[in-house]
Amino acid sequence: MSNRNRIHALLRRWRARLGATAGRDAPAGDRDAPDALASGRDALVAWFAAEPEQYVLAQATLAVAVAVPDWLAAAFARLAEQPPLPAGWPSVAGLSGRYLMLTRVLGDALDAAYTRALRTGQPLVCPLTRAPWPAATRQARLKPAEWAALDGTGLGSLIAGVWLPEAGQRQVWRALAHDILWTDAPAFWAAVAAQTPHAARPGRTPDPAGSTEDEERLILRDAVRDVLRGLVHSETFNRRDGAGWYHEGVFWVAAKPFAERLYAQPEVRDRGEWRPRPALYQRLAVHGLLLPNGAQPVWNVYVVEEDRPYRRYASVLKLPATLYAGVEVFPAYAGRLQAVG
């Protein structure tokens, strides 16, 4: 099946599920989706003219797009505003700046579309499972102020590990490992703007708490760096029975102990929205401060040393090496971390 037919089949199935759940046809705005996809293919051809090898990956990415009214048209419009990138950015082997910009534009448009839909009570599918959400009559009753506060910001980044093709996921994770903060839209577009001063910055989600988000990331980044620095200088670092290891160019830290050390930091201690631990992990992932395992923040691994008869099971977080200054001269763990399963 061609990519075009696959996309149309996805849209037909989505309309059928939505109609059965909400008791009516798909929203009128979505009837323009095929035209948006057609214009999008033309936009992709032009955007990847200088990187034709990335065009197939871009098509595969578009083929698994989550169907939300009008969001693709908005994404393609933003993409068309972007000037060509310098050929040398980013200067990391195997990374495509054009692909990163495409997926970031798609993520930003998805954030905005879900924010609008949530605040207006539109019927949707769950972006993680593709299952229809409850009809409006079965949704929780919220006060007007509570509806207005619903926010889809960060959704595109969260589901990258679920719906992006494997090659696309590798692009995102490699970018994060080299301090290109794809999961942090403001930081990413600031990096793009530094390369292309006249770039048109894509629109943010409606009513964004931009300064709040920026402040949140700085608080968490500084806390993570402080805790990581203390862990690296501890006597148990890079030991099988310790709480952290430097392996394959990234830091691996035992998840629960690391979170508890973060909660002990003065700037984190009183932030109730970062408790329990899954909420903290989610915010770290949204801000690009950890490298997730697909859609999950926690990795399950065995800590193995060749001269030891037993391996240790551990639930760990994976942190970019760029969080630690001077990492290029840091000794690697003598053993290895082996993924479970």
Same domain, 219 and 269: yes
Domains held by the chain: number: 2
| Least confident range of 5-14, 89-98, 158-167 | 5-14
Same domain, 230 and 185: no
Q: Determine the average pLDDT of the residues in 90-97.
A: 86
Same domain, 106 and 239: no
Same domain, 100 and 187: yes
Share of the chain above pLDDT 70, in %: 69
Domain end point (choices 182, 207, 232): 207
Contact by Cβ (8 Å): 44, 58: yes
d(Cα 2, Cα 230) in Å, to the nearest integer? 53
Same domain, 203 and 272: no
Both tokens assigned to 247: 């392996």
Same domain, 176 and 229: no
Same domain, 148 and 290: no
Q: Which amino acid is at 281?
A: Y
Same domain, 177 and 251: no
d(Cα 183, Cα 331) in Å, to the nearest integer? 28
Domain end point (choices 207, 230, 261): 207
Name residue, tokens 């309309």: 15
Same domain, 195 and 229: no
Q: What pLDDT, in 10s, does the model give residues 38-89?
A: 556 777 788 888 888 888 888 888 777 666 656 777 788 777 777 767 667 8
Q: What pLDDT, in 10s, does the model give residues 115-146?
A: 777 777 776 777 766 676 655 444 556 666 66
Same domain, 176 and 113: yes
Q: What pLDDT, in 10s, does the model give residues 229-274?
A: 899 889 899 999 999 999 888 899 999 999 999 999 988 988 888 8
d(Cα 286, Cα 185) in Å, to the nearest integer? 9
Threshold 0.75, pTM exceeds: no
Same domain, 271 and 291: yes
Domain end point (choices 180, 207, 234): 207
Same domain, 150 and 296: no
CA dihedral 8, 10, 13, 19 (to 10 degrees): -80
Query: In the predicted model, what is the mean pLDDT of the chain?
Result: 75
d(Cα 188, Cα 186) in Å, to the nearest integer? 5
Domain of residue 195, residue span: 3-207
